């Protein structure tokens, strides 16, 4: 009798399991059918907006051009657990069409791209078809890299260099990160008396590495200024304007951003940097640093969200002792570029407060994932730059267009591209 009861219960359970499986399969088929009926996704068109109360050139403008910065989200970095809302949008064949369509949509004269993989097989022929010339580089330990592309009808490349932060001797590292930068000097074709020295980078992602990120920022800007100064001496008939651009993995309240844009950093920011310098791994258990929410609410914790294949490692105690203090590092940054820098997109608060951060004016987000939503990407220009002024920026979409997280059917990357239009003179 007991045996019969067990068998009956077992049969009931098996029947229930089969019914659930059948229901799940039916739901999957219905979902697949619905997806097949949807038109192919295409990027949402965003609008340009004139910069309110913008600075005017003191002389008649000679011309205009545009620059894009765009973290493409390397396919090699995609893990479904990091993008739980994206579904089929994570598929390479779908996403690559979205990303390349967004590039073609704005077709900037210069593009600084980060997290570029599948370059030879996909992006190189796409860029060539669009009429660009490009330089691509990646660190040997990474599967994705950096790319600067330019329109040869507008600019001519004069010089190109790369930066390896791990091996740069300007100041001792606190992490081995395999992060790099690119520097390209471009002379205007129609007005060879004007040129730009553009830098493209993707800095170390780990939130606790505040000091290392400032170190990499310092090396990056110092390297750009060295190229600019050398060109100014070698080609005195051309006036060169430096422009650092990229994914700095830095929120607007990060000490690195303050060091770049402010004459001095606060004592609290210096203390954060010092803690990060003297014991770079000490905050690892905290899983992040605090950041102001874009809506001005209480500080939140930034999780270690970045989808990096993390090749980083701590250095030993002896090397840490050789590092310079945070104040000395900031002094090197300011010495390499005595003029302070201005974040071009800090005007966004005057354009659309709803999608901007109230304290800084920066976009509310340039990265929008399930785990992290904030600004990490920047375009910098010297505050008192007399030869080049931004005139318009590509505004953020309504936040509803990126919810619940990216990538989605509106955007193929987890980052927003930044695009600015400029006027120049000599």
For 174, the token pair is: 């606190």
Q: What is the pLDDT of residue 310?
A: 60
Q: What is the pLDDT of residue 296?
A: 29
Q: Distance between CA 344 and CA 383 in Å, rounded?
A: 10
Q: Is the whole model's pTM more than 0.85, yes or no?
A: yes
Q: What is the pLDDT of residue 282?
A: 57
Q: What is the pLDDT of residue 316?
A: 72
Q: What is the pLDDT of residue 33?
A: 66
Q: Distance between CA 224 and CA 380 in Å, rounded?
A: 12
Q: What residues have CB less than 8 Å from 187, skipping those under 6 apart?
A: 155, 156, 158, 194, 195, 238
Q: What is the pLDDT of residue 5?
A: 53
Radius of gyration in angstroms for the set of CA atoms belonging to the chain, rounded to a whole number:
24
For 57, the token pair is: 């050139």
Q: What residues have CB less than 8 Å from 401, skipping those under 6 apart?
A: 44, 410, 411
- Please identify which residue in the block is written with the tokens 């809506």: 295
Which of 226, 80, 211, 115 is closest to 161 using CA atoms?
226
pLDDT one digit per residue (tens) for the chain, 426 residues = 444 555 787 878 888 888 888 887 877 676 666 656 789 999 999 999 999 999 999 999 999 999 999 999 999 999 999 999 999 999 999 999 999 999 999 999 999 999 999 999 999 999 999 999 999 999 999 999 999 999 999 999 999 999 999 999 999 999 999 999 999 999 999 999 999 999 999 999 999 999 999 999 999 999 999 999 999 999 999 999 999 999 999 999 999 999 999 999 999 999 999 999 998 875 443 433 333 333 322 223 344 444 455 666 767 777 788 899 999 999 999 999 999 999 999 999 999 999 999 999 999 999 999 999 999 999 999 999 999 999 999 999 999 999 999 999 999 999 999 999 999 999
Q: Distance between CA 10 and CA 2 in Å, rounded?
A: 12
Beta strand pairing call for 373-374 and 367-368: antiparallel
Q: What is the pLDDT of residue 26?
A: 78
Q: Distance between CA 204 and CA 210 in Å, rounded?
A: 9
Q: What is the pLDDT of residue 267?
A: 97
């Amino acid at each position: 009798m007991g045996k019969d009861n067990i068998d009956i219960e077992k049969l009931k359970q098996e029947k229930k399991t089969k019914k659930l499986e059948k229901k799940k399969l039916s739901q999957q088929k219905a979902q697949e059918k619905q997806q097949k009926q949807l038109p192919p996704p295409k990027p949402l068109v965003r609008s340009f907006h004139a910069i309110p109360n913008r600075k005017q050139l003191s002389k008649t403008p000679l011309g205009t051009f545009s620059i894009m910065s765009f973290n493409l989200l390397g396919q090699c970095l995609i893990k479904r657990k990091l993008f739980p809302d994206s579904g089929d949008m994570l598929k390479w064949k779908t996403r690559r069409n979205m990303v390349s369509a967004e590039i073609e949509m704005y077709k900037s004269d210069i593009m600084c791209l980060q997290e570029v993989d599948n370059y030879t097989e996909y992006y190189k022929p796409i860029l060539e078809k669009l009429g660009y010339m490009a330089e691509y580089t990646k660190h040997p330990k990474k599967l994705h890299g950096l790319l600067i592309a330019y329109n040869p009808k507008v600019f001519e490349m004069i010089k190109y260099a790369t930066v390896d932060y791990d091996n740069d001797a300007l100041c001792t590292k606190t992490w081995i990160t395999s992060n790099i930068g690119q520097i390209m000097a471009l002379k205007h074709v129609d007005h060879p008396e004007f040129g730009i020295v553009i830098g493209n980078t993707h800095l170390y992602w780990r939130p606790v590495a505040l000091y290392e990120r400032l170190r990499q920022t310092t090396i990056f800007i110092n390297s750009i200024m060295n190229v600019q100064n050398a060109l100014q001496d070698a080609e005195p008939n051309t006036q060169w304007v430096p422009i650092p651009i990229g994914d700095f993995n830095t929120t607007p309240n990060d000490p690195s951003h303050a060091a770049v844009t402010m004459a001095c950093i606060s004592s609290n920011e210096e203390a954060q940097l010092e803690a990060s310098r003297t014991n770079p791994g000490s905050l690892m258990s905290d899983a992040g640093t605090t950041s102001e929410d874009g809506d001005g609410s209480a500080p939140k914790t930034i999780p270690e969200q970045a989808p990096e294949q993390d090749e980083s490692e701590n250095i030993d105690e002896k090397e840490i002792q050789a590092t310079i203090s945070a104040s000395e590092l900031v002094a090197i940054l300011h010495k390499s570029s005595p003029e302070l820098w201005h974040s071009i997109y800090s005007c966004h608060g005057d354009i659309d407060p709803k999608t901007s951060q109230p304290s800084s004016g920066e976009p509310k987000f340039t990265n929008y994932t399930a785990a992290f939503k904030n600004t990490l990407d920047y375009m910098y220009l010297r505050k008192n730059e007399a030869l080049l002024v931004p005139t318009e920026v590509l505004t953020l979409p309504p936040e509803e267009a990126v919810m619940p997280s990216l990538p989605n059917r509106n955007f193929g990357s987890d980052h927003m591209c930044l695009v600015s239009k400029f006027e120049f003179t000599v």
